Chains A and B, each alone.
Chain A
Amino acid sequence: MKKLLLWVPLLVFAGLVALAMHGLYRPNDPTIRSALVGKPLPALTLEPMLPSKPGLALGENPGGEPRLVNVFASWCVPCIAEAPQLMRLKQEGVAIDAIAIRDTGPAIARFLAEHGDPYRRIGDDPRSAVQLALGSSGVPETFVIDAQGRIAMQHIGAITEGDVPRILAALEAAR
């Protein structure tokens, strides 16, 4: 027993080294995560972006189904790359709401005509105020909202093909 005790310091030190290695070699992840993950969406209302689609009331939860809130803009190049995945999610039956950042109606209409329109509602956020309130710092970003209206997950950056199953799983789990 006493013999074993003598090796405890070495074990502690090995733990420290493992920790240091992890700290040293972890990929630098400068992304800013929203502090709201796990909390309900703030009760904010956004004007409709397009006359043909309703605006967005974040606090209310129509249908009680899990949904996506996608933060996007027509001027955002990664959003173009993301568009096919959103269309695919829509075909899977996912309800997708959108917040359009610093944008205009005609530009959004052109964007949707060109890259497809996966959105149920589109809210207008002309000065990024709502985006910042959500804890989002760039476009595109996607929030998975659970049945109770809480943010279940924050996806930063464009949704790639590989991300789709993960997002579907998160939506399923958020029921």
Chain B
Amino acid sequence: MIAEAGLAALWLAAALALLQLVLAGLGLWMGRGARSTNNVRPELVEGRPSASTGVSLDGSGSPSTSSGQTDGSERAATAAQLIAGVRPVAIVQGLLAALSFVLLILLFIRSDMSVVLVAQNSHSAKPLMYKIAGAWGNHEGSMLLWVTVLAIAGGAIAIIERRLNEATLVATMAAQAAIALGFYAFLLIASNPFARLNPAASEGAGLNPLLQDPGLAFHPPTLYFGYVGLSVAFSFAVGALVMRDVGPAFARAMRPWVLGAWIFLTIGITAGSYWAYYELGWGGWWFWDPVENASLMPWLAATALLHSVTVLATRDGLRSWTIMLAVVAFSMSMIGTFLVRSGILTSVHAFAVDPSRGSFILALLILYIGGALVLFGWRIGSVKQGSTFELVSREGGLIFNNLLLSVILGIVLIGTLYPIVAQAMGTQLSVGPPFFNKTTAPIALLLMLGMAVGPMIRWRRDEGKELIGRMAAPIAVALAGLVAVFVIAPDTAILPLLGLGFAFGLAVASVAPLWKRNLRRTPLFTYGMVVAHLGVAVSVAGMASEAAFTQEKLVAVRVGQVTQVGPYSVVLEGIKPAVGPNWSALEGRLRVQRGDAAPFIMGPQSRFFSAPPTVTSEAAIETVFDGQLYTVLGQPDGEGRWQLRLWWKPFVTLIWLGGMLIGLGGLLSLIGRVVRERRIPNRMAAA
């Protein structure tokens, strides 16, 4: 019964999404005709859905209040009624989608093997947390999660958003319903998560053991929240384009969603990177895998959007650029979904290799992104240019940052798609880390320079000379850092060397906006910016240090043999069996000592999962203040020796610490913005 109830809830939610779209569309259309009777130019009343009538609608308040009361016309009243229905429908739609997802989780908790999805992805012997995570650790479940978050976000807009022009908001919610509708159709037609299995399976197939990890149980939902947040930003952009209402009010309504999405993406990418690092046992933290790129590309676009939406909200500049970025950011998350789900790319974690589903997502992609780009090309020309500014100004700095981010995005996109292009031309090849590292690193360094300078420039215009004065301290620190690293380790390659120097400089420059300020009266979002930029410096320092100073040992050792790696000496003391809830393992007992300090024991495991039969390496990692010792137990060679992989990675933890700081900075900004907007409800330019 639960599965049927879940499916019914999903159908109902889909129907409500359709209703929401129809109500909003009809209401806007009728409201537009009715309003023109009020218009100063009566010749536009009949039958011309022209640009000028559209313009007359926005800016002059919401149709529901003004047209319903001041204008007696029946048509306007109907329009107001239709539009009034949109919010409640959106809220109920969100609730129904959530209900359907909760029911799916319930099926997984009960290990109901009469449901195909549960039988394929769960096992009754699994720990409860992974049973729950199993609900989204697969294609159908994750798509249901996607649409659930989308619908809940729609409901949240309906509840929270009060300040945006009503017509623009309704158009936004129509766009949101249109996106949701496509994904409901996808679930109901191509990937029903509630399909029954007859006869029921006696036992489930299990969850991929690699996914049985707390990090990964929560990694996909985090990214999904990010993607969906970008879909909301996209809907706002579409709504603003439809209503030709691109301005600060729209930007302020969109900004929290962009910020929220960006925070989730940041955390998701950071956590995913750390997960890959400690779980896959290969000792690396970023591989430029297509699926990693699929999450990085929307993040890059969202980062650019985040900065340009601030220009639009505070200075009313960069109007079309912001709209474009909102479209691109969501396009990137859709393209990411498509790449992962269609099977056209071979990747470590491409799941659901299925051309029919791929075609469906491709169709949605064409519909939404193609539609939005057509709308963009058609409408943006009539959006008036915002305020202007000098080249040397905060706006100019933000454009610089936006362009660099876009270039990196372009490189990653090309590098990710190039294998498909090559295949179309008839050659097989893969584009690996060397390409991405070489091409993106120099631009990333430039970007750091921009990040250091940007916050020190004034809005609208500034003097180049004064600016150089303000940059003196960061430049001095960066140079000192470069010299210090060069003296300590003269063999350091050029990119890591520059990376470290720039990181030192950026760290100082990030904190500089707080210099000589009243710290208690400094707004929270300024702290957010400081923390996020500092996080980038910390992260880059970690990456550069890892690249420059990592030491690796691959050895085959007998029990008792000593190996040196970095400052550590490692002895294999023995191998013993170990068991867990649904796995058994061989565990190496490593006695590790650093200098004269007390020795300690590390236990890397080679784990065996029976359902499905898989062997995984469970690395043992020792974290100390100046880095990590990373140990992996390999195969026995049959002559009493065991393979060991050992890495000493100085300051590698800074990579993820920085990532978390970036996310924290975003969170501070979000809180700061929300608090400020509540306190000053109708102020136009709250900087």
Which residues on B sit within 8 Å (CB–CB) of A16?
335, 417
Interface-lining segment among B168-176, B372-380, B614-622: B372-380
Scoring A10, A14, A21 by chain B CB atoms within 10 A of each residue's CB, the highest score goes to A10
Q: Closest residue of chain A to B410, judged by CB?
A: A12
Residues of A within 8 A of B366 (CB): 17
Give chain B's interface secondary structure class.
Answer: helix
Taking the closest CB of chain A, its distance from the CB of B198, in whole angstroms, is 31
- Closest chain-A Cβ to B399's Cβ sits at a distance in Å of 16
Q: Is B473 an interface residue (CB 8 A)?
A: no
Q: What are the residues of chain A within 8 A of B373 when measuring CB–CB?
A: 9-10, 13
Q: Which residue of B lies closest to A33 (CB)?
A: B428
Measured CB to CB, the nearest residue on chain A to B356 is A24
B355 near A24: Cβ-Cβ < 8 Å: yes
1-54 of chain A: CB within 8 A of chain B: 2-3, 6-7, 9-10, 13-14, 16-17, 19-26, 33
- Within 8 Å by CB of B420, from A3, A10, A19, lies A19
Chain B residues whose C-beta falls within 8 Å of the C-beta of A20 in the assembled complex? 338, 342, 344, 362, 365, 420
Q: Specify which of B370, B376, B380 is in contact with A17 (CB 8 Å cutoff).
A: B370
Name the residue on B nearest A21 (C-beta): B362
A26 and B424 contact, Cβ closer than 8 Å, known pairs A6-B380, A6-B381, A17-B365: yes
Most chain B beta carbons < 10 A, residue from A17, A23, A26 = A23
Q: How far is the CA of A3 from the CA of B379 in the complex (A)?
A: 11
Chain A: how many interface residues by the 8 Å CB criterion? 19
Q: How many A-B residue pairs lie within 8 Å, measured between CB atoms? A: 59
Separation of A17 and B362 alpha carbons in the complex (Å): 8
Knowing A10-B374, A10-B377, A24-B344, the reply to whether A19 touches B417 (Cβ < 8 A) is yes
Chain A residues whose C-beta falls within 8 Å of the C-beta of B380 in the assembled complex: 6
Q: Count chain B residues whose beta carbon lies closer than 8 angstroms to a beta carbon of A.
A: 30
In the assembled complex, B331 has its CB within 8 A of some CB on chain A: yes
Bound-complex Cα distance A3 to B369 (A): 19
A88 to B327, CA, bound (A): 61
A24 touches B362 (CB 8 A): yes
Kindly identify, within residues 230 to 245 of chain B, every residue whose CB is under 8 Å from any CB belonging to chain A. Answer: none
A13 touches B377 (CB 8 A): no
Is the CB–CB distance between B359 and A23 below 8 Å? Answer: no
Point out the residues of chain B lying under 8 angstroms from A9, CB to CB.
324, 327-328, 373, 376-377
Please state if B369 and A22 are interface contacts (CB–CB under 8 Å): no
Smallest CB separation, A61 vs chain B (Å):
27
B421 in the interface, Cβ–Cβ < 8 Å? yes
- Neighbouring A residues of B331 by C-beta, 8 Å: 13
Nearest CB of B to A160, in Å: 21
B370, A10: Cβ atoms under 8 Å?
A: yes
* A8 and chain B: residue at smallest CB distance: B377
B423 is an interface residue with CB less than 8 A from chain A: yes
Closest A residue by C-beta to B424: A22
Question: Which chain A residues lie closer than 8 Å to B358 at the CB level?
Answer: 24
Residues in B with CB closer than 8 Å to A23 are 342, 344-345, 420, 423-424
CA distance A16 to B365 in the complex (A): 11
Q: A24-B355, A24-B362 are in contact. Are A7 and B377 (CB under 8 A)?
A: yes
B340-362 toward A: CB 8 Å interface, digit per residue (1/0)? 00101100000000010011001
CA distance A21 to B424 in the complex (A): 10
Taking a contact as CB atoms closer than 8 A, the residue among A13, A25, A26 that contacts B370 in the complex is A13
A22 surroundings in chain B (CB, below 8 A): 420, 424
| Min distance, Cβ A163 to any Cβ of chain B, angstroms | 18
CB distance from A14 to the nearest CB of B (A): 8
Nearest to A2 among chain B residues (CB) is: B381
Most buried by B among A3, A24, A26: A24
Residues on A with beta carbons closer than 8 Å to the beta carbon of B421: 19
A6 touching B362 by the CB < 8 A rule? no
- Residues of B387-428 contacting chain A, CB below 8 A: 417, 420-421, 423-424, 428
Question: Nearest B residue to A32 by beta-carbon distance?
Answer: B428
- Nearest-CB distance from A147 to chain B (Å)? 25
Of all A-B residue pairs in the complex, the 3 with the closest CB atoms, nearest first, are: A23-B344, A10-B373, A6-B377
**Interface residues of A, Cβ cutoff 8 Å to B:** 2-3, 6-7, 9-10, 13-14, 16-17, 19-26, 33
A-B contact pairs, 28 of them (CB 8 A): A3-B381, A6-B376, A6-B380, A6-B381, A9-B327, A10-B373, A10-B376, A13-B369, A13-B373, A16-B335, A16-B417, A17-B365, A19-B417, A19-B420, A19-B421, A20-B344, A20-B420, A21-B362, A22-B424, A23-B342, A23-B344, A23-B423, A23-B424, A24-B342, A24-B344, A24-B358, A24-B359, A24-B362
6 extra A-B contacts, CB within 8 A, seeds A2-B381, A3-B381, A24-B344: A6-B320, A6-B376, A7-B377, A9-B327, A23-B345, A24-B359
